[in-house]
Structure formats: C-alpha cells, structure tokens
Chain A
Amino acid sequence: MSGFLFQAFVYLAASVIAVPIAKRLGLGSVLGYLIAGIVIGPVIGLVGNETQNLQHFAEFGVVMMLFIVGLELEPKVLWQMRRRLIGLGGLQVGLTSAVIAAGAFALGLSWQMAIASGLILSLSSTAIVLQTLNEKHMLKGEGGQASFSVLLFQDIAVIPMLALIPLLAVPGLSGMGQDAGAAHGAGQGSGHADVAANATDGAGHATMSLVDGLPGWGVTLVTLGAIAAVVLGGIYLSRPLFRFIADSRLREMFTAAALLLVIAIALLMTLVGLSPALGTFLAGVVLANSEYRHELEADIEPFKGLLLGLFFITVGAGIDFEILFADVGTIVGLTLAVMAAKAIVLLVLARLFRLPSPDHLLFALGLAQAGEFGFVLLSFTLQNSVLDTDTVRMLSLVVAISMLLTPGLFILYDKVLARRGAGDSRDDDAIDDAGPVIIAGHGRFGQVVNRLLMSNGHRTVVIDHSAELVDSLRRFGSKMFYGDASRPDLLHAAGIENAAILVVAIDDEEQAVEIVRMVKASHPHVHVIARASDRLAVYRLYRAGADDIVREMFDSSLRAGRYALEALGMHKFRARKAVRHFEDFDRQTLRELAQHWREDVDVFDNEEYISLARERNQMVIDAMAGANREMHDRTDRGWTPPPKPTEPAGRKAEPAGRKADAKTHTEKPVTKPAARKRRVATTPPGK
C-alpha cells in the first residue's frame, strides 16, 4: 500500500510541479509531463522499470481521447473528411514508410528490417499532437483537421501492420528475439500487441478472444458484428440507458456509466482484435448528436487528462540515458533524419492536397515525430523476430526523443507564424462569426429566450438538468443537452471559451450566482445575462459580475399594473408613460441600493442601505403629495404646453378639473413603489 501511495505521490507531485511551470513558460503541458518524467526517472531515479507497465495502463488515455474527439465530430463531418482521411493519411503512411525503409536499407539493414522500421516510424503520436492542437485551439482549423485525418488513418493502419510484421520475420533472429522479449520486450509488449498476436496467430498469449480458432469468414463476421453493435447500441440503446441513469440524479453514476461505456467498447474491440482507440472513436462519433454528449465529455475529460499525462511521464521516464550516451551521435542523428524525412513527405502532401499555405508548416512539423504506437510495434517486432534487440533499443530511443522534440517544434511553429503576422488567423475568427449563445436552464424563462434567439438566426446551446425535458424538447428539433450547468467542465464542453453570451436561467439561486462568478472570473469576455428571483438575488448577481440582470417577475408585473391603470380609465398612452417612469425610478433605486448592499451584513443591520431605502421611499411619497418638484417633473413631463395666457375664470374651470382628475390616476402607480420599498426595508428577504 505504502509503495503505491509513494508512487502515486511521485507521479502526481512531478506533474503538479512541472506542468504549470512549463505552461507558464509557454512550452505546453506535454513538454512539462515529459520533463517531469525525465526528472523522476533517469535523472533522480525515483521510479524505475515499473514505468513500462504503467505505460500500458496510461495508453488507455489515448483511447479516451479518441472517444472525446469522436464526440466532437458529427458523422457528416467525418464523411466530409473521407478524401483526406484515406488519400492524405494513406499517402503519408505509404510514402513515409518507403522513404525511411529506403534510408534504413541504405544504412545496411536487411530489406525486411528496413520495411519494419519504415512502417514503425511512419506513425506519429496521436497523444502529443491532439493534446497540443487542442490546447492551442488549432484542431478546428484546416491544418488541425488534416493532421487529425492523418492520425486517424494511422490508428487504423496499425492493424494491417500488425498482420504484416510477422511475415517479415528473419529465421536467424528467432532465438534472440525470444530472449529479448523476456528481458526487455516483456515490458514494452502492450495490450495492442497482445491483441494483434491473438488476431493474427492466436497461438501466442493466452488471453481472452472471441475470434480464436474461427475460420477467416467467421472472424470477419464477428468483427463486423462488433462494429454494428457499437453503432446500433449508440443510436438506439444509449438514450434510454442514459436517461435511466440521469433520472437517478447521482452525478457519480453518470461518471461511472460513461467510464463503463468507454471500457466496454475497448474490451469488445480487444476481444475481436480491433484497435480499442478506433472502437471508442466510432462510439464517440455515433454519440456526437446525442443530448448527453457534453455530459459524457465532461465526465471522461479528467480521466483522459490524467492518463495521458501519466503516459507522457512514462515516455520521459523510459528514456534510457545509458544507451543514449553510449552512442549519442548516431541516435540523435537518426532521430533528426527520421523527423526531417517525415516533415518533407508531409510538406509535399500538404501542397498536393492544397492545404492553406500558413498551415503547411503546422502540418509538417506537428506530425514529424514517431508515436506511441511505435513502442507497441517495436516490441511486437521483437517478439516476432523481425528486429534484433539492439535495433529495437535504438529505435525506441529514436521514437522517444522525437516525441520529446515535438513540443519544441510546435513552439517553433508558433514563432514562425507570429512573424508572419496575425492576418491569417484573423480571417479564421471572422468565419467563425460570433460564438454561440449558451442557455443554462430551459424552463419557462430559458425557453422564450431560446426561441427568440433561434427565430433571429442565432445558434444556441441549451443545457438543462432535467432529462425528461431534454428528451421531449429534442423531438421538436432543439439543440439541447443534458447536464448540470454549474459544473465548470460541462460549460467548458459546451464551448464557453468561444461563447459570446451565457444566459443563466436556472432556478437555484446559489448555483446561478456561482456560475456567474465562475464564468466572469475565467472568461470575462462572455456577456452574462442572469435571471434573478428577487432584489437580494439581483444584488448578489450584480456583485458576481453579471452584465444584465433580469428580475423574473418584474416585467410581467408591470404589464399587469398597466392593465389595471387602463381599466381604471387612464388613457393607454399615459398609462404606458406612467409605467415607464415607475420602471425607471425603480431601476435607478435598485442600482443605488445595490451599491450599498453588503454580502456579509444582513440588510436589517446595514445602516446605509436602510437610510437610502428610506430616502427613496420618501421621494415617492413626496411626489404623491406633489411636494417633490423634481420627481413630479420626471413623471409628468413631456408635451407640457406653455402656460396659458390669462383668461376669463369661467373657461378655465373645466380643463383644471380634468387635470385634477388625471392627477388622481397618476398617483395610483406611484403608491406602488412606496409599498414595495417598505417591504424590502422591513420584512425579511424573500427566501
């Protein structure tokens, strides 16, 4: 137990210290993790061989990441990407493999070993690239999308590679390979390799499999069946299942269900010999249109982040400095040669596929490293006697160092782009237009706001925590999501970073205030419109930083009051004016009172507040009595004719009477604020 706690302490402490510093220095989180790994591993030796076992566990972070990427990719977007996915991805893997294999052959490797090396090094690191692009908000751009296509193709390509590599086996190496497999490769051998072993020659490791011993057509059938299960399950089963869980109102159950979903799919894919990352990606795409998408994303995100971080640490910790320093020149030279070759192939492809020219470098530099699948394939080649131990060790270092260099290349890219001026990225902003509006809470209030915005052609993202409501409203075609809007991670998943406006229309006042405070603190650019139940809520929301605060009953009460005035015989236009004046006065009073309201002092003990409230009451009362000229002017000004020339008394009587008449009407609305104000000052707050 203490051993486990110590390890957990070392890994967490290393990342907590290194990552924020790296981020602060503009190096990005990936480099922070890698450095943390190097420090606790080879440098001070706090962790040792167990990192390799940990790495297989941490690779599950990649699986989760692809699930989340899938969630953000609607099926139709994926379909639009098909040309790039197959064309760009296929050419990248094919050409890079060929170039590197040719180089390796020239360096004196046998053609089998050269091809194996080419295949292994053609892959890039999904973990590093996607994490970095996400962090820099570049995944949505052309360059980011192209990079993603290539990475996705590579993930698919691993499977045929696993089938191909055993065919390259060199008989003479076999004995050596077995030894090395036990000594070194045992650590590196991963879930993927196991799967592959099962899928291809079943006789290897004795793990579970659904396709063991089946004939070829049987394997195909089971495989297709598994994929169909994921797709159909996603479409038909997920909704009732999540609804059932959501109704339990236990947040951790939803988290558990989300994890269960990802793990179940990964397991199923492993059993039929497919890549778990691919399976969860597919499930993500299927669920991209689901109302539970943001909630799922928010639940998986922290696990993904931690696991990926752990993965990067293990990469850093796994760098064997002894071997590296034994032959520094060769290894660094090889690494640079591999990266240069990959970057050149990528540049050619970027031109061929007409990517926008500022993105060429991003694409080429971003994908120039070798990736985590490289480790997997390397140990697999060792087991299958394709490569010898020395070559595998050397190539492992090449992979690790190229990964270590990647964050540096991203920084280089940033600098190059910065020099070219911000003009290009400005355009992207404009295309994106004003970010969407997020509406938290879709009750009677949020609904009207949503309908009004949608009818004016604005995109809205609506979040509500009632699964029932979400279900029924989605039938009407609203874009709604299930979730608890007071969770920062959920707002993040809903896109608060790029949102222009957040409308907080939830019932729970505490939560509403908390959301406003949080959003204004971390995303001050978002314009926050909040609904308040009463005056005290207004003060709290005002203090929390809400830009616009709407008292939920105020406007409708004023309308009811206006109808009453009209029914009492006041002219409609005059009634409207009276209401407007009343409203202005009340709003101004509220604004002034808000200045004096203090969160820590009860309103009844707040002397300043009470005296101001009194003063404003008196103004209304005075106005009623006609004593306060200013107030009277304010309510009865407008279209005031010049004084009449002196006239015979007889003609004057009638209009004067009418005027008095009208006056009794105006007095009616102004009695109202007096009553209201008194209530605030002398009765306990509404709640």
Chain B
Amino acid sequence: MKRKILILFAHPAQERSEVNVELAKAAAALDFVTLVDLYGDYPDYHIDVEREQKRLLKHDVIVFLHPFYWYSTPALLKEWQDLVLEYGFAYGAKGTRLAGKIFFSALTAGGPEKAYKRRGYNHFTLRELLAPLEQTANLCGMVYLPPFALYASRRAYEEGRIGDHVAAFTGLLTALHEDRMPLAAAARHDLLNQATIRAAKSGETPARKEVPA
C-alpha cells in the first residue's frame, strides 16, 4: 500500500525561516504529499474544523512541521489540536477515525544536541519533551514515531547543513510512502533521523530530490 502523507506546516514568520520553509517546499514537490500552510489558511486562527477533519481522513501519515517553540508547537498548531481532535472523532468511545494512522513531528530546535540531555541545560531529550504529542497520538490510536529534528537550527544555514537535512526529510517521506520503513524499530529510536540513516544504509536509497540548500 502506498501511503498518502499530510504535512501540517506551522510557521508564523516564514519570511525569516531558513530551514522550515525549505523542508516545506521540498515536501510539497512530492506528489504523494499534501502540504498545508496552517498560518496561511487560518491567518486569524479561525480554523475550519470540518475541512481539517476531512483532510485527516484522506491521509495515512500525519506530520507536524514546525519550529520548536517553548518545548512545543507554535500556538496555531496547538489551537488546531484543541479544535480538530474532537471527542467522537479522534478520541472517545466512538472516536476512532484516526486509529492506525502514523504520526510524527518534524521540528527544528535552536539548541545543540548536547543541550537536550539529562545533563544538558534543557534537562530532557526532545522525545521526552514531546510526551504530550506522543500521548495524544496514543489516545487517538495512532502509530507514534519519534521526532525528526534538526538541532542548532539557527546556525544550520551558515554551516551548510540544510541541504542534507532536506534530503533526509524527503527520503524519510518517500520511505514512509513506499512502506520501506520498519515502524516498530523506528518507534524505539530517540529521533527519527537515526531510523532514516539506518534505512538508507540498508541497501535501498531513499529517493533524493534536488533542493537548494
């Protein structure tokens, strides 16, 4: 089965974005991906619940694409969760419409990798900090995968790391689309990046798209 992917892209200041916009552009170019610019669709936070739920039902993989704001998503994406994941739709006795779908968050974090450790100044790993999302997915019966993240994203442009990250992202999306990713193994990692590297090494190369770094 070829999976269809829905990316909910949330960035309130895209004119200043260096990484997220590139990820969004590259993903949008894949024909099995639906990219939703949430801040573009709902500039005044007036989310159309009906439309969002219909969109969810049409896809098999749900991805949040966003910068990491105060250890969570930007406000509109939280608003989206509050409104769209309704009782009777996403959770509750009859709320099983999202069950079985794959969910993960693709985010960019300002701090370096060593900060997201018990001993680091953020004290928790990224995966730990995203526990609310993980539990939301669990409650909705979704398959939760760890975050796909870029550390030290504020220096990624200067250090020329964006091109590789974008390629890894499109590779990951392609692998999920073609069902080439062993989900149970991937779910055990701290970051989805590690699973992606593993998948790339195990013979099949994920399709790469040329993206400007």
Contacts and interface: CB of A to CB of B under 8 A. Distances in A.
Interface of A: 577, 580, 584, 634, 637-643
Contact of A642 (B46, B49, B82, B87): B87
Contact of B87 (A580, A634, A641): A641
A637 B91 CA distance: 16
A638 B87 contact: no
Contacts, number: 21
Contact of B83 (A580, A634, A638): A638
B113 interface: no
Contacts of A577: 46
A270 B97 CA distance: 87
B56 to A, nearest CB: 16
B178 interface: no
Given A637-B49, A637-B83, A640-B86, 13 more contacts: A577-B46, A580-B46, A584-B46, A634-B50, A637-B86, A638-B49, A638-B82, A638-B83, A639-B83, A642-B87, A642-B91, A642-B92, A643-B87
Contacts of B49: 637-638
Contacts of B83: 637-639
Interface in B62-103: 82-83, 86-87, 91-92
Cβ-closest 3 pairs across A and B: A642-B87, A580-B46, A638-B83
21 contacts: A577-B46, A580-B44, A580-B46, A584-B46, A634-B50, A637-B49, A637-B83, A637-B86, A638-B47, A638-B49, A638-B82, A638-B83, A639-B82, A639-B83, A640-B86, A640-B87, A641-B87, A642-B87, A642-B91, A642-B92, A643-B87
B10 to A, nearest CB: 18
A61 B99 CA distance: 77
Nearest to A583: B46
Interface in B33-75: 44, 46-47, 49-50
A511 B132 CA distance: 58
A643 B50 CA distance: 20
Most buried by B among A580, A638, A641: A638
A580 B47 CA distance: 11
Nearest to B87: A642
Nearest to A577: B46
Nearest to A642: B87
Nearest to B84: A638
Contacts of B87: 640-643
A577 B92 CA distance: 26
Interface string B137-172: 000000000000000000000000000000000000
A640 B88 CA distance: 11
A577 B83 CA distance: 13
Nearest to B82: A639
Contacts of A642: 87, 91-92
B38 to A, nearest CB: 16
A642 B91 CA distance: 9
A278 to B, nearest CB: 49
Contacts of A643: 87
Nearest to A581: B46
Contacts of B82: 638-639
A580 to B, nearest CB: 5
A340 to B, nearest CB: 47
A643 B94 CA distance: 13
A640 B86 CA distance: 8
A640 B83 CA distance: 8
B179 to A, nearest CB: 34
A458 to B, nearest CB: 15
Nearest to A641: B87
A637 B44 CA distance: 17
Contacts of A637: 49, 83, 86
Most buried by A among B44, B47, B86, B91: B86
A574 to B, nearest CB: 13
A580 B86 CA distance: 20
Nearest to A637: B49
Contacts of B86: 637, 640
